[in-house]
A and B are shown apart, each in its own frame.
Chain A
C-alpha cells in the first residue's frame, strides 16, 4: 500500500501557491460528488482551509451525456482563510462535452482544463448540443488543455482484474482524482482508506478503484503532462482537533449534543425531502444516544408526531425544505398555541412549489416570520456557515426548552451540502441546557397549565404520567392561567399579546450585534444565513482599499438583536444582500425606517465575491 502513496522527488517544477479552486464536472453517473468529497477530505486532513460547493441536478440520472445531467463539485482550498468556494476555477475536470459546456465559462484564463477525450465523439457532442468539437476548433486555446483518454487508460490499468466493462468504466473518476492528487502533491492515503471501507465486502472493487487512482497519479508522473505541480501549505487555523463537516451533519450533531446536554430524549419526525434528508440519515445512525427517528407518512405527521413527542417530554425536532414547510404550517400554529418546545429545520431551496430542489435560496424568511394564520410569532435562527449549523441547533434547542416555544432554523441547500473544517469543541465546555418538568400542582386549586414563569413567560412543561397534573390543552383559545377554553374578546387579546411578548422577551437572552470590519462608516452590510462567507471575503477585499465598511450577520432573525436599530444609524448607507427578492430588507425597512438597499440574486446559486464587491463600489461611488 505504501508504494502507491509515496510522493517521489519531483522531476518537474513545483510551485508553492496560497490557494486554488478546483471543480469536478461530469455526468450524474460519473461519481463527481464522491470524487469531489474525497479530494476535499484529503486537503482538509492536510490542514488547508476549505469551502465546497456541490452542485447537482434534481434528477437522479438524467439521460447520460446531456446538459441537464451535469453534476459538479467545486472546492476552494488554501493556506489562508477561505470564505467562499471561489468565484472562478483554476482547474476544471470535465468528464464529457456537456460538463465542459456547462462549466467552462467559470474557468480562469490560462486555467488547467482536464477533459476525458474518449467522450468527445460525434454522438457525445450531439448530446451536448455542440456542433463542432471544442478539442479541435481552438475554442479552448486560452486554457491549458489536457486532453486525456481517461476511459482507455483506466481500462488498460484494470484489464488484468477481470472486472466487467461497466464497473471498469465507473473507475475513471478515480483515475482523474489520482491526476489531481499528483497535481497538488497530495497523499492518496485518506482515499485509499475510504475505498477500503466503502467496498469492504467487494475486494475486486477495492483493487480496481485503488489501481485507477494510482494509474492517474502515475500517468502524470510518467508523462510529465503538467510539467508543474502545486503545493498549498496548511492554513494557520486555531489550534485544536479538526474535522470536515457539512451543514446537515452539523445540525444532526448539534441536536445529539443538545439532547445530551439537556438530558432529554431526542425525537425526530421527518419525511424525506431534498436537501434535508441527510439530517434524517445522520440521526438515524445515533440510536446509541437514544435518538428516536420516525420517518413519518407525510410532512404533517412528521411535525405532529414531533409535537406529540414534545408533549410527552422529548427534545423534539422536525426537518424539511420549502414544500414540506408549507405543509407543516398549521401544525406550527398548534405548537405556538400549546406552547411546547419544538425545533423546525427548514433547509431552504429554490421555489415556489417544487422549484429547484437541489439549488439554494433564502426566500423562506418571511414565511418563517409570518407564514401562519393569525398572530403566531416564532423565534427564527439562521446559521451562517456549514459548521455553524452545530451551534444553531444548540441555540434553537436552548430557546425552545427555556421559553416553551417552537423555534425555526433557516438553513439552506448551500450550507446543507457545503463543507468546511470544524474545530471540534470540548464537550465539557458546552453549557448544559436546564430542563424543568412540572412535578406538582402550582396552585391551591390544582394544576394550572398556563400559569407562567414571570421571567420567561414560559408555561410549565407537565408531561403525561405525572400524578396530579392531569390537564387539557389544545388549539382552541384558552383562558390565561387556567388553560380552559375561552372565547372572551379581552382574554383573546391578552393571550395574543402574551404569546408575542414571550417571543419578544427572548431579546434579553441573545447578544447584541458587533459589526465585523468598521464599527461605523460609509456602508453597513446586513445579512443572514449562507451569504456570510462571500460577504466576509468581499468586506475584507474592500476594506483593504481603505473603505469604511461594517458587516452585521444576523443569527437571530426573530427577535432581532436589541442594538440593531442603533447600529444601523452608524453608517451612511445600508446594503442587504440576499438570495431572494429582498425579504430581510423588507423587515429592516419596516421595523427601523431605514433606507436600506438590497442586492438580490435568485439563481439557485450563492453570491460571488465579485458581485458583492461591485455593488459595494457602486454604493460607495468608487
Chain B
C-alpha cells in the first residue's frame, strides 16, 4: 500500500476558531464554557477549518455560529436540523454541527429533531439545556420541571417536562450523550466522542442560565452534589457513583434496575457493566430515565454509541450512484423525448 506524501500542515489552534465578533451572552452564562470547549476540541479533530459548518436555530444557544470562525448559519427557530440535513445531503464531506437549545430543539423544532435522529443524518447536535427560555426573558421551557413558576406561569407550569436523552433514545438516535457546562474536561471528552461518531450524535449539555434560571443544575454541579448525585458513565465499567464510590446500579430479576450500597457482600462485579455499544436502545433508555426515580443518580457521559447504521446522506448519494451505474448518466435530449412522441412535418 502506497502512502501519499502530504505537504506539512500547520496545526490549527483554538484561536483559529475564534471570531472577531463581540460575544453577546450575559456575563456568567454557561454558554461561554461550551464555546470554549468546542473551540478547544475543533482543532484536535484533524479537519480543515473550511469544512466545518455550524448551524443553529433561534435562542441564546443559537448565537453560537457567530462566535465560531467556520462557515456558520444562524437559521430560524427550530429548523436547524432540517437546514443541516440539506447541507449534508449535498455535501456529505462537510463536518456539520448544530447548536440548539431546549426550546429550539424540543418545542418548536421537536419534529425536525426526531426525524433527523431517526434518519441518522451525520450531524453533531449540541443541545444547550438550561430549562428556560432566556432570549425571550424567562418563560418555562419543555424541560422545565413541573410547577415551575415563571413569567408566563405565575401559578406554576402544569406541563410534564421532556427528558431530552430519553426523547433522543426513543427516536433511536445512534449516539446519545450528556455533559455539563462546568465539567470542562468531561465536556471536551464527550464532544470528541461525538465527533468520532459517524451517524447522528446528540449531546445534551446541562447549562446554567444565571439570569433567568440560576442554579437549575446546582443539585448536580455543587461540589458535594456532583459526586453524590451524578453517575459518570464509561463503556465497559460498572455503574458506580457516590462520593466514596460506595453505591452502584444492579439488575433486578425482573429486568429493572436498583440502587445498591457497595460492601456487605455486594461488590462491583455484581453491578451493571455499562455497554454503550449495544445495538438496541432499550438499555440506554432505562439509564436515561433513572434520574426521575428517588435515590437514583443522574447519568452523564455517553449513554449510547452504536455506529453500525449507515448515514442518511451516504445512503441518499449511494442510491443516486447505483441508478447512474445501472442506467448510465442521464441524457437530457432523451429524457425530453421520452414516452410516446410524434412528428409533425
- Chain A residues in the interface with B (C-beta under 8 A): 41, 44-47, 190, 193, 234, 237-244, 253, 256-257, 260, 265, 267, 269, 286-292, 294, 296-298, 300-301, 304-314, 316, 330-331, 333-334, 338, 423-425, 427, 463-476, 484-485
Contact = CB atoms under 8 A, between A and B. Distances in A.
Nearest to B91: A312
A290 B324 contact: yes
Given A290-B324, A305-B82, A427-B332, A238 B344 contact: yes
20 contacts: A243-B336, A243-B339, A243-B342, A286-B330, A287-B320, A291-B320, A304-B75, A311-B83, A313-B91, A314-B86, A338-B73, A464-B50, A465-B71, A467-B49, A474-B65, A474-B66, A474-B74, A475-B74, A475-B76, A485-B66
A472 B69 CA distance: 8
Contacts of A464: 50-53, 71, 87, 91, 94
Contacts of B147: none
A234 to B, nearest CB: 8
A338 B306 CA distance: 37
A550 to B, nearest CB: 29
B49 A297 contact: no
Most buried by A among B91, B93, B327: B91
Classify the interface of chain B: helix, strand, loop or mixed. mixed
Most buried by B among A190, A289, A467: A289
A485 B88 CA distance: 26
B266 interface: no
Interface string B329-345: 11011011111111111
A291 B49 CA distance: 29
Contacts of B68: 472
B153 interface: no
Contacts of A316: 86
B342 A288 contact: no
B94 A253 contact: no
Contacts of A307: 75, 83, 86
Contacts of B69: 470
Contacts of A253: 335-336
Contact of A288 (B53, B89, B316, B327): B327
Contact of A312 (B79, B87, B323): B87
Classify the interface of chain A: helix, strand, loop or mixed. mixed
A467 B48 contact: yes
Contacts of A297: 82, 111-112, 115
Contacts of A468: 50
Contact of B72 (A424, A467, A473): A473
B26 interface: no
B330 A308 contact: no
Contact of B50 (A237, A338, A470): A470
A286 B335 contact: yes
Contacts of B91: 312-313, 463-465
Given A427-B332, A472-B65, A485-B66, A290 B82 contact: no
Contacts of A241: 337, 341-344
A256 B332 contact: yes
Contact of B345 (A239, A296, A308, A310): A239
Interface string B94-108: 100000000000000
A99 B320 CA distance: 45
Interface of B: 19, 21, 48-53, 55-56, 58, 65-66, 68-77, 79, 82-91, 93-94, 111-112, 115, 316-317, 319-320, 323-324, 327-330, 332-333, 335-345
A289 B330 contact: yes
A301 B342 contact: no
A245 B85 CA distance: 33
Given A472-B19, A485-B66, A427 B86 contact: no
A606 B338 CA distance: 30
Contacts of B333: 427
Nearest to B69: A470
Nearest to A41: B340
A609 B70 CA distance: 59
Nearest to A333: B76
Contacts of B115: 296-297, 301
A267 B72 contact: no
A411 B232 CA distance: 57
Given A256-B335, A292-B316, 16 more contacts: A242-B343, A244-B340, A253-B335, A260-B330, A297-B112, A304-B76, A305-B82, A305-B85, A308-B73, A311-B87, A314-B86, A424-B341, A464-B50, A467-B48, A472-B68, A475-B76
Contact of A472 (B74, B93, B111, B316): B74
A387 to B, nearest CB: 11
B340 A243 contact: yes
A311 B112 contact: no
A314 B70 CA distance: 20
A470 B112 CA distance: 26
Contacts of A301: 79, 82, 85, 111-112, 115
Contacts of B51: 464-465
A555 to B, nearest CB: 21
Nearest to A301: B82
A469 B49 CA distance: 10
Contacts of B50: 464-470
Contact of B75 (A239, A463, A471, A475): A475
Given A309-B90, A334-B75, A471-B72, A240 B83 contact: no
B111 A287 contact: no
A424 B337 contact: yes
A260 B329 CA distance: 11
A338 to B, nearest CB: 8
B90 A304 contact: no
B71 A242 contact: no
A265 B66 contact: no
A389 to B, nearest CB: 14
A334 B77 CA distance: 11
A475 B52 CA distance: 20
A234 B329 CA distance: 36
Contacts of A473: 72-74
Contacts of B90: 265, 267, 292, 308-309, 312-314
B332 A45 contact: no
A551 to B, nearest CB: 26
A238 B343 CA distance: 10
A84 to B, nearest CB: 21
